[in-house]
Amino acid sequence: MSAPAYPPPYNPYASAVPGNMPPNMNMYDGRYVLPPPYTASPDYSRIHPSFPPADQGFSIPSQFLNEPLVANVAMQYGQALVGSGKQLVGQELEKYVPFSRIKYYFAVDTRYVTKKLGLLFFPFTHSDWSLRYEQDGPVQPRYEINAPDLYIPTMAYVTYVLVAGLVLGMQDRFTPEVLSIQASTALAWTVFEIIVELITMYITNIQTNLKTLDLIAYGGYKYVGIIFAVLLSILFHKTGYFIGLIYCSMSLIFFLVRTLKVQILPIGTSPSHHDPYMHNSGNKRRMYLLLFVAGIQPFLMWWLSFHLISPPVPKS
């Protein structure tokens, strides 16, 4: 049997012009084939086992990352990087919101809250209104009952909104929109009160130790009296409301006058204490400020609570 006939191998130069045939091509005897394509990255893994495969590129061996020394260095570097980032963010936020100062006003405990509520309701029995100081500022509220705090005003504001919702629900006037309006209105009046007090202090040029957060704390104590008056209105209607409102207003005025009097800058440190006329004028301005801050509280207490116990008359 004869061998099967195969077609001759393909020769790309078979149809070329004889004069254009490359030199020394006769040695291939018509069996020339094209060279393999160029490989950009040869696979050295066949030569040396330590090299990674060519299609995977360079990678760090996992055994290197599992070393305890390397892992500890990476962890310490990561912790240092995170710590520096938090410190930088904290410094930027501290410029706009004094978080370190706000923490002072929330440094309270159960004993302080109980005693401070008793002081707000019965300030007439308190005798020592002085405020103790440390090297870096006033003593924290948990150790000083006369120090202002923001915990009681904040909780009283939230409780005031909840009690308002309860009363409105008992009068069939509760809606989510009304409750949100109640909360936003109370907050707006608080901000307005603080702004008016700051402007008054700036115009009258009164130098005191009071800070903006102090004014917010003292202004927020009125919500305790509002809650008490509104709860009395549930049991005794308008009579109980007015009795509670009048008593809480008087106790709050007495509390604020005695407390804020201590917070004012001492007269002896005033730059004008050598001039008797300026000395007396400064005392009058400070007294007017005390009366203004304390006297505005009963009006705000009535304004924020009277509509809760007197529903509007329906239109005919």
Residue 147 contacts residue 139 (beta carbons within 8 Å): yes
**Lowest mean pLDDT: which of 16-30, 200-214, 287-301?**
16-30
Closest Cα to residue 214, out of 190, 194, 236?
194
**Per-residue pLDDT tens digits for 58-98:** 455 555 556 666 667 667 766 766 666 555 555 554 554 56
**Average model confidence (pLDDT) for the chain?**
77
Three-class secondary structure of residue 264 per DSSP: strand
Three-class secondary structure of residue 239 per DSSP: helix
Residue ranges covered by each domain of the chain: 68-97, 108-266+283-308
Closest Cα to residue 256, out of 309, 311, 223, 219?
219
Q: pLDDT: is 73 or 14 the higher one? A: 73
What's residue 313's pLDDT? 55
pLDDT band (50, 70, 90) for residue 314: low
Residue 241 contacts residue 232 (beta carbons within 8 Å): yes
Three-class secondary structure of residue 12 per DSSP: coil
Residue 230 contacts residue 304 (beta carbons within 8 Å): no
- DSSP secondary structure string, 52-80? PPTTT-----HHHHT-HHHHHHHHHHHHH
Strand ranges, E, within the chain: none
Closest Cα to residue 194, out of 208, 223, 222, 215?
215
**Rounded to the nearest 5°, which phi and psi values hold at 51?**
-80, 140
Neighbours of 36 (CB within 10 A): 6
Question: What is the pTM assigned to this prediction?
Answer: 0.67
What's residue 205's pLDDT? 84
Instruction: Name residue 249's amino acid.
Output: S
